[in-house]
Structure 1
Amino acid sequence: MSSRARLTEDEIAAAMAALPEWTRDGDAISRTADARDFPAAIRVVVAVAGEAETLDHHPDIDIRWRTLRFVLSTHSAGGLTALDFTLAARIDTALRAESA
């Protein structure tokens, strides 16, 4: 299956189980997280930007001081794909690295 193919509901449920910090909102998944401070939030965004470029899959990111909100969906597929969950896991890694 292509990483850009829309996932089934069962596949989405299994992928969501592996990402407990994420929530589903229709055809998207999202996560809000607080960084230590504004510079730490920006470092997370820079790390996520690198991962997004590598995957050629880009999240919506909202930055409010030290609070970050990420929203993922594969618009070209009309829903969630493996790319969304791959990038979500990499976002989690970037957040963990900055909180260490």
Structure 2
Amino acid sequence: MSKRDPLSTPEIAVALADLPKWRVVNGKLHRDFKFKNFVQAFGFITQVAILAERMDHHPEWSNVYGQVSIDLVTHAAGNAISALDVELARQIDEITL
């Protein structure tokens, strides 16, 4: 099984047990982040961008001042959640520790 293959609903549930701040919204892994200001939010976005580029797996995101919203889904898996999304979510969480 490839990391880009879609995960089953039970597999996603197991993954979310280790990612308590993430949830499934519209078929995507989703998490909102809040920062004190735009500079901190932008610094976080930059760190995630470098990580995503290294993984060759890029999030869908939005930023308004100190808030960043991230959605993770694998387009090659038919816009489904894959192990690659779970791994990226874990690594993003490590940035925010």
Which TM-score band (shorter chain)? over 0.9
**Is 1:90 paired with 2:78?**
no
Query: Offset of 1:26 from its aligned partner?
Result: 3.7
Partner letter of residue 11 of structure 2?
E
Moved over 6 A (4+): none
The normalised TM-score by structure 1 is: 0.90
Give deviations 1:2-52, integer Å, cap 9, x for gaps.
110111111111001111101102421100010122111111101100110
Q: CA RMSD in A?
A: 1.0
Task: Percent identity, please.
Answer: 36
| Number of the residue aligned with 1:23 | 23
Q: Is there any run of 5+ residues in structure 2 with no aligned partner, and where?
A: none
**Alpha-carbon distance in structure 2 between the residues aligned to 1:70 and 1:26:** 13
How many residues are aligned here? 96
The normalised TM-score by structure 2 is: 0.93
Give deviations 1:31-82, integer Å, cap 9, x for gaps.
0010122111111101100110111100011000000100000012020100
